[in-house]
Amino acid sequence: MAPVYLPVFIMLLVAATVAGAMFTLTSILGPKNPNPAKALPFESGSLTRGADNARPSVKFYLTAILFVVFDIEAVFLYPWAGMFRDLGWFGLAEMFTFIAVLGITLVYAWRKGALEWEK
């Protein structure tokens, strides 16, 4: 069984060696001119304002969760579309149920104000 995995281990060893060599050469040959301006946090061309550990708004969390939910929906729709003829009426009913539950979820999020950025 070991000879089967030998190429994988050799590839991992070569990859680790190349990565280690790159890090080592960069640290040895790279420029070393520390500057206090380089240590400042930088985001989109402007300096940060406020505390570094400020909590993001809950709106970002809600938007991210809704994106993940509806992105997963799309992931489930693609295989269903490919197997539509084989699944028949049962598959169609299942998918309508799935989309109905997601529609109810969207209406619920809309009514709770999760889709409104400014109130």
CATH code of the domain containing 89? 1.20.58.1610
Burial 46-77 (b: 16+ CB within 10 A, else e): eeeeeeeeeeeeeeeebeeeeeeeeeeeeeee
Q: Which domain holds residue 79?
A: 55-119
In a domain, 19, yes or no: no
**What does pTM read for this prediction?**
0.49
106/109 Cα distance (integer angstroms)? 5
In a domain, 80, yes or no: yes
In a domain, 87, yes or no: yes
In a domain, 63, yes or no: yes
Is the per-residue pLDDT at 53 higher than 70?
no
More confident residue, 116 or 49: 116
Beta strands in 34-74 (DSSP E): 42-43, 46-47
User: Residue 83's pLDDT is what?
Assistant: 86
